[in-house]
Amino acid sequence: MTTSPRASSVAGDVPGDAAGEQDRRRALIVGVTGQDGSYLAELLLAKGYEVHGVVRSASSYNMGRIDHLYRDPHEPDVRFFLHDGDLGDSARLMTLLGRIAPHEVYNLAGQSHVAVSFERPEHTGDAAGLGAVRLLEAIRASGIECRYYQSSSSEMFGASPPPQREDTPFQPISPYAVAKLYAHWITRNYRETYGMFAVNGIAFSHESPRRHEDFVTRKVSRAVARIQAGLDDYVYLGSLDAVRDWGYAPEYVEGMWRMLQADEPGDYVLATGTRTSVREFVAAAFDHAGLDWQQHVRFDRRYLRPAEGASLIGDSSLAAERLGWQARVHGEGLARIMVDADVAALRHEGRHWIDRPDLPAWQVEAAW
Ligand code: G4F
């Protein structure tokens, strides 16, 4: 029987010592309800892991991306467990770490919208920045042997010209990027000072049909589906000149996992290496649906940012060489995948789980 997912007490959730379970790898994902967390949970479950997700109590429902993974913890052979907690509660993190004793910890949580970080710089610094040190310190203090993944971001490169690699200087130009940079350096600091297996994945933008529509790719793919269906006429956007290196999220979570399987801890760029402007993404998305974008896209200055950095184009040759990781889906192919998913979701009617325009991105995407 499948029940609605809810965070449940860890005490009754941690499996017993039945044969085979002792050897099973356990992963703890903080931010499991977000795009990356949900794909990573799927990947790890497929690899035979026992997966524990930390879920922040939210006044709004935010489990849509993991609904399909959840089963009642009292059923036999359940390997996916949810626990109340968040990156603001160090004591709770310590308790969960002690009880679960994970082999791998993934920090994918924190407010992740760049524009929102200008409105809520303090909250962003607390969640995306200090959240990492709370988790690292909880791991260190609890004394468990585990590997730690920190979701660093290409936003940290900010004004540094492309292509950006692991040794490119960071020049952050948003509160979000500054917060992420703190988390990045504290992760390195724990690795170097305490010998922890702690790594940073410097991920360039990675998207999917599970992206919240406050991010431009999903905003566009969703708009294309609605315009094609005759529900809307226009989509309002900010800068079309901005350039990103857009990849496909399921491929990026594979890269995250590979970083924790390496012989030595290190920091890696995850990117496609291809440049796509917002305009090109928009044109590809509308074209895929047989629409002329120039008839349907309008400018709205509210979507301009106080600061817009250099083009973010990554060079992930180190990840290719040492981890055997390579992105396959790039900007325009990604646009087609996302439009197809939104068109299908609309055709299947009802409120698809990814269709939550009532929730702000920071709440749905991050769930820290
Ligand atoms: O989709 P975006 O909001 O994502 P952004 O800023 O690239 O951030 C994403 O990728 C980062 C990695 O590089 C992550 F660190 C971060 O957490 C997040 O996942 O904006 C993309 C570009 C920007 O240049 C923005 O100015 O699209 C431009 N844009 C133009 N019109 C718009 C819009 N962005 C949004 N969100 N909405 C618009 O209407």
Q: Give the chain's length.
A: 368
Distance 173 CA to ligand 1 centre (A): 13
For the entire predicted model, the pTM comes to: 0.91
Tell me: the pLDDT tens digits for 318-328?
999 999 999 99
153-202 per-position pLDDT tens digit: 999 999 999 999 999 999 999 999 999 999 999 999 999 999 999 999 99
Confidence of residue 361 (pLDDT cuts 50, 70, 90): very low
Tens-place pLDDT, residues 240-280? 999 999 999 999 999 999 999 999 999 999 999 999 999 99
CB count in 10 Å sphere of residue 141:
13
Query: Could you read off the pLDDT of 193-210 as tens digits, one per residue?
Result: 999 999 999 999 999 999
CA dist list (Å): 236 to 51, 216, 219, 293: 39, 10, 9, 12
Q: Is 114 in the pocket of ligand 1 (CB under 6 A)?
A: yes
Indicate which atom in ligand 1 lies nearest the CA of residue 113: 17
Average pLDDT over residues 101-114: 95
CA–CA distance from 173 to each of 69, 122, 155, 176, 178 (Å)? 37, 15, 8, 8, 7
Which comes out higher in pLDDT, residue 360 or 283? Answer: 283
CA 226 to chain centroid: 25
Percent with pLDDT over 70 in the chain? 88
pLDDT digits (tens, 9 = 90+) for 5-41: 444 433 334 443 444 566 899 999 999 999 999 999 9
Q: Which residue, by CA, sits nearest to atom 28 of ligand 1?
A: 239
Which residues belong to the active site?
153, 155, 176
CA of 4 from ligand 1 middle (Å) equals 32
Ligand 1 atom nearest to 153, measured from its CA: 15
Residue 8's pLDDT is: 44
Closest residue by CA, ligand 1 atom 5: 114
154 Cβ inside 6 Å of ligand 1: yes
Give mean pLDDT, residues 122-135.
Answer: 97
pLDDT (0 to 100) of residue 362: 39
Pocket test for ligand 1, best of 39, 107, 111, 114 (most atoms within 8 A of CB): 114
